[in-house]
């Protein structure tokens, strides 16, 4: 996996001590625009495309795994793909781009002539649409090295909605506009179909996906690597390979499946098309855990060289005795910071967090801010245990890139028939039925947390003991060992080389780019002044990562830690790799969640409860211990 550029952040502590910690940033940006519903009710009833939400969510996860910073505009969220929001998002990206970066823009929805249909499209006024040429120009003129525009929409026909034949010419994108624009080096337009063709949805798939997006996702995940004449598997998915893969797979499946759904006598075609000159060095994704396939001729040459070297060595040994010594075996080298390792049982990905030292806990400046904004009484009640600030050293470790998902936890439950106390006792939930107050309710658990989730959301309503049972199961199945992170590991990873209250800095309006928090979009009484697009949990990896390449280290779901909670633990912390194992019965959890305000969304914040305790905003992530 290609990790973005690395640099060293110099922290100056106590005016004397300087600590160097590698910080990672992504050079690949993606904006995904999904218009699956419309504000106009009559138009929405006729033209909504519910399957497209699945397309964009799966694509977002694939791109995030490949080091793309992903922003999603989706009709069903508060960050809606209106005409204004689409343009503003792309313009904001263009202001922050650099010449060596990559920008990928993906649109899925309807088109009408030379316009795309945004969420606020009015079918009575064609010009209420987003001019395709304007979108093309915004992407084309972005100040980055490579620009990709993926369009999954009918070019001369409508997506399947039960009235395709009637509307085929009304809801189409004019490819002539595209062809005129795809002439600039480094700019590539990838269309889901050709002139006079429709883009279809595979309604037999679960979840339903468009044919184009289904194979786009598979291709980027690695199925396209080495696809096509003259292409060889090299662990990098490049544009020509993806083009050959999409054109062959989509065309074949649509031709096979769609006639029976439309008319057996009708010839149906959908041929993805790239409107640009193809180049073999246009990289889209880089695969992890993959060994490139070498050219057979080169392999023979390498083998011959190895045999010649062996013969020379044998000749040398005939005239020179073998030197014997008791040299100590060198330790294996430290993995590179930011390296990704994939666990084979669950598919969970882990990021290498570099070792280093940091100042753990709350600063005096932070204390003053808390007291000023929330009062001394609340500070004494909730935040005093974050003191004193102290220096901690940590060895490097592997940390889960995301929280453990509901799907991963489900596999553990299915295999072990695990039953937790929450199934008998109930869980603490908060939603409209509880009048937005925490209440313990029977019948609620990780499968039913009081709001909708899918398998890609973080598992919640799990206790510390449930997390430990999951780890015990995984340790038996895997060749590696896993644990919950310590408090110190969690805060170090959450800070990611920074010393501000939150790793994204002092600007609270940026919170919703990096975290799922209590935000103004959901009318919390105390909130960040932005809108993150989700009321409850969001799919893991939905927001931008921190400088270590970790997602959701703040917000989305609180996360259990290994430590026993002691309010004055910091007075007795070990200077290196501290772990508190006695002194109380409660366990620590960290990171904040979807319904917590700026007071708690801080790297230094601590919370705790008994190990059987469950909340509908509390989950966990793992570290690898070997």
User: Per-residue pLDDT tens for 274-312?
Assistant: 765 555 567 888 877 665 555 555 555 555 666 666 666
Among candidate residues 13, 288, 29, the one with its CA nearest the CA of residue 146 = 29
Model confidence at 392, pLDDT cuts 50, 70, 90, reads very high
Same domain, 223 and 157: yes
**Long-range Cβ contact pairs of 410-414 (< 8 A, separation 24 or more):** 410/455, 411/346, 412/469, 412/470, 412/473, 412/474
Spatial distance between the Cα atoms of 576 and 280, rounded to a whole number of angstroms:
48
Same domain, 269 and 403: no
Same domain, 278 and 377: no
Spatial distance between the Cα atoms of 93 and 95, rounded to a whole number of angstroms:
5
3-class state of residue 240 by DSSP = helix
Separation in Å, CA 615 to CA 277, 444, 560? 54, 10, 11
569 phi and psi angles, rounded to 5 deg: -55, -35
3-class state of residue 149 by DSSP = strand
> Out of 75-79, 147-151, 384-388, 576-580, which region has the weakest mean confidence (pLDDT)?
75-79
14 lies in some domain: no
Can you tell me the mean pLDDT for 112-129? 85
Torsion over CA: 163, 165, 166, 172 (sign):
positive
Residue 334 vs residue 296, higher pLDDT? 334
315 lies in some domain: no
Can you tell me the mean pLDDT for 157-173? 34
Q: For residue 273, is pLDDT > 90?
A: no
pLDDT at residue 585 in the model: 92
From 286, 319, 354, give the residue that closes a domain: 286
- Scanning 66-210, the segments in alpha helix (DSSP H) are 83-95, 132-140, 164-167, 175-181
Spatial distance between the Cα atoms of 375 and 305, rounded to a whole number of angstroms:
74
The two tokens of residue 381 are: 């009640």
Q: For residue 393, is pLDDT > 60?
A: yes
124 lies in some domain: yes
Number of domains in the chain: 2
Spatial distance between the Cα atoms of 546 and 133, rounded to a whole number of angstroms:
34
282 phi and psi angles, rounded to 5 deg: -95, 100
Per-residue exposure over 368-383, b if at least 16 CB sit within 10 Å of its own CB, e if not: ebbeeebeeeebeebb
Angle at alpha carbon of residue 242, lines to 175 and 57, rounded to 5°: 85
> The CATH number of the domain where 478 resides is what?
3.90.1580.10
Same domain, 502 and 589: yes
From 257, 286, 315, give the residue that closes a domain: 286
From 260, 286, 312, give the residue that closes a domain: 286
299 lies in some domain: no
pLDDT digits (tens, 9 = 90+) for 436-457: 888 889 899 999 999 999 999 9
Can you tell me the mean pLDDT for 235-263? 84
Q: For residue 323, is pLDDT > 80?
A: no
pLDDT at residue 325 in the model: 39
> The CATH number of the domain where 74 resides is what?
3.40.50.1460
Spatial distance between the Cα atoms of 545 and 236, rounded to a whole number of angstroms:
22
Question: Chain-centre distance of CA 260, in angstroms?
Answer: 37
Same domain, 407 and 546: yes
Torsion over CA: 614, 616, 618, 624 (sign):
positive
262 lies in some domain: yes
Contact (CB, 8 A) for 412 and 383: no
> Out of 103-112, 224-233, 507-516, 521-530, which region has the weakest mean confidence (pLDDT)?
521-530
Spatial distance between the Cα atoms of 569 and 579, rounded to a whole number of angstroms:
10
329 lies in some domain: no
pLDDT digits (tens, 9 = 90+) for 180-200: 555 455 788 888 887 678 888
- The helix (H) or strand (E) run that includes residue 63 is helix 52-65
The two tokens of residue 560 are: 């259990």
Cis peptide before 23 (omega within 30 of 0): no
pLDDT at residue 533 in the model: 82
20 lies in some domain: no
pLDDT at residue 46 in the model: 85
Spatial distance between the Cα atoms of 54 and 595, rounded to a whole number of angstroms:
25
Same domain, 280 and 344: no
Helices (H) and strands (E) in the chain, counts: 16, 28
Spatial distance between the Cα atoms of 522 and 595, rounded to a whole number of angstroms:
9
80 lies in some domain: yes
Same domain, 155 and 224: yes
User: In angstroms, how far is the first alpha carbon of the chain from the final one?
Assistant: 21
Same domain, 92 and 201: yes
Separation in Å, CA 310 to CA 52, 300, 491? 58, 15, 51
Same domain, 235 and 373: no
Same domain, 430 and 509: yes
Per-residue exposure over 224-244, b if at least 16 CB sit within 10 Å of its own CB, e if not: bbbbbeebebbbbbbbbbbbb
pLDDT at residue 356 in the model: 94
- Scanning 400-477, the segments in alpha helix (DSSP H) are 406-416, 422-425, 464-477
Separation in Å, CA 583 to CA 57, 109, 168, 178, 464? 44, 57, 70, 67, 17
Angle at alpha carbon of residue 296, lines to 290 and 298, rounded to 5°: 95
Contact (CB, 8 A) for 557 and 537: yes
Same domain, 358 and 229: no
Same domain, 487 and 580: yes
Angle between the 211-218 and 239-262 helix axes, to the nearest 10 degrees? Answer: 150
Torsion over CA: 429, 432, 437, 439 (sign):
negative
- The helix (H) or strand (E) run that includes residue 428 is strand 427-429
Model confidence at 101, pLDDT cuts 50, 70, 90, reads confident
Q: For residue 166, is pLDDT > 50?
A: no
**Domain coverage including residue 427:** 340-624
Can you tell me the mean pLDDT for 4-32? 45
**Long-range Cβ contact pairs of 445-449 (< 8 A, separation 24 or more):** 445/420, 445/614, 446/406, 446/409, 446/420, 446/422, 449/536, 449/616
Model confidence at 26, pLDDT cuts 50, 70, 90, reads low
- Scanning 436-561, the segments in alpha helix (DSSP H) are 464-477, 487-495, 511-514
């Amino acid at each position: 996996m290609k990790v973005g550029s690395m640099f060293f952040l110099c922290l100056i502590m106590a005016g004397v001590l300087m600590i160097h910690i590698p910080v990672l940033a992504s050079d690949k940006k993606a904006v995904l625009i999904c218009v699956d519903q419309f504000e106009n009710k009559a138009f929405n009833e006729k033209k909504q495309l519910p399957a497209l939400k699945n397309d964009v969510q799966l694509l977002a996860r694939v791109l995030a795994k490949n080091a793309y910073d992903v922003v999603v505009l989706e009709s069903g969220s508060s960050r809606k793909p209106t005409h204004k929001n689409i343009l503003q998002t792309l313009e904001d990206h263009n202001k922050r781009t650099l010449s060596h970066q990559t920008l990928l823009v993906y649109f899925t929805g309807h088109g009408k002539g030379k316009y795309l249909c945004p969420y606020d499209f009015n079918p009575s006024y064609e010009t209420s649409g987003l001019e395709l040429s304007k979108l093309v120009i915004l992407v084309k003129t972005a100040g980055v090295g490579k620009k990709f525009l993926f369009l999954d929409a009918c070019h001369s026909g409508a997506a399947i909605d039960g009235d395709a034949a009637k509307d085929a010419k009304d809801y189409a994108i004019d490819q002539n506009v595209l062809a005129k624009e795809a002439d600039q080096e480094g700019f590539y337009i990838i269309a889901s179909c050709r002139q006079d063709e429709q883009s279809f949805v595979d309604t037999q798939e679960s979840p339903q996906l468009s044919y184009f997006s289904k194979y786009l996702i598979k291709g980027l995940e690695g199925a396209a690597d080495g696809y096509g004449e003259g292409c060889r598997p090299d662990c990098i998915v490049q544009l020509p390979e993806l083009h050959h893969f999409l054109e062959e797979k989509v065309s074949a499946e649509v031709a096979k499946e769609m006639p029976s759904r439309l008319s057996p006598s009708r010839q149906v075609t959908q041929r993805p098309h790239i409107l640009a000159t193809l180049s073999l060095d246009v990289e889209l994704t880089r695969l992890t855990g993959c060994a490139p396939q070498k050219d057979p001729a080169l392999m023979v040459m390498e083998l011959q060289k190895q045999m010649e070297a062996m013969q020379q060595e044998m000749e040398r040994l005939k005239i020179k005795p073998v030197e014997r010594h008791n040299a100590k075996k060198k330790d294996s080298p430290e993995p590179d910071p930011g390296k990704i390792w994939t666990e084979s049982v669950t598919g969970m990905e882990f990021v290498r967090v570099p070792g280093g030292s940091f100042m753990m806990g709350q600063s005096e400046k932070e204390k003053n801010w808390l007291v000023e904004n929330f009062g001394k009484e609340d500070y004494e009640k909730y935040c005093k245990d974050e003191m004193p600030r102290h220096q901690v050293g940590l060895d490097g470790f592997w940390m889960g890139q995301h929280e453990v998902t509901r799907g991963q936890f489900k596999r553990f439950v299915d295999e072990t028939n695990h039953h937790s106390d929450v199934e008998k006792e109930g869980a603490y939930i908060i939603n409209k039925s509880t009048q937005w107050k925490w209440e313990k309710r029977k019948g609620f658990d990780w499968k039913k947390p009081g709001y909708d989730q899918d398998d890609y959301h973080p598992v919640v309503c799990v206790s510390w003991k449930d997390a430990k049972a999951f780890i015990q199961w995984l340790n038996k199945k895997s060749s590696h060992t896993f644990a919950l992170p310590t408090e110190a590991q969690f805060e170090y990873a959450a800070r990611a080389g920074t010393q501000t209250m939150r790793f994204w800095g002092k600007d609270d309006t940026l919170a919703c780019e990096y975290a799922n928090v209590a935000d103004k979009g959901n009318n919390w009484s105390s909130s960040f002044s932005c809108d993150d697009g989700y009321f409850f949990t969001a799919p893991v990896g939905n927001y931008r990562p921190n400088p270590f390449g970790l997602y959701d280290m703040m917000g989305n779901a609180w996360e259990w830690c290994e430590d026993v909670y002691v309010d004055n633990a910091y007075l007795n912390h070990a200077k290196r790799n501290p772990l508190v194992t006695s002194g109380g019965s409660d366990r620590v959890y960290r990171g904040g969640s979807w319904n917590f305000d700026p007071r708690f969304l801080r790297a230094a914040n601590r919370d705790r409860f008994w190990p059987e305790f469950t909340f509908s905003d509390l989950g966990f992530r793992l570290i690898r211990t070997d």
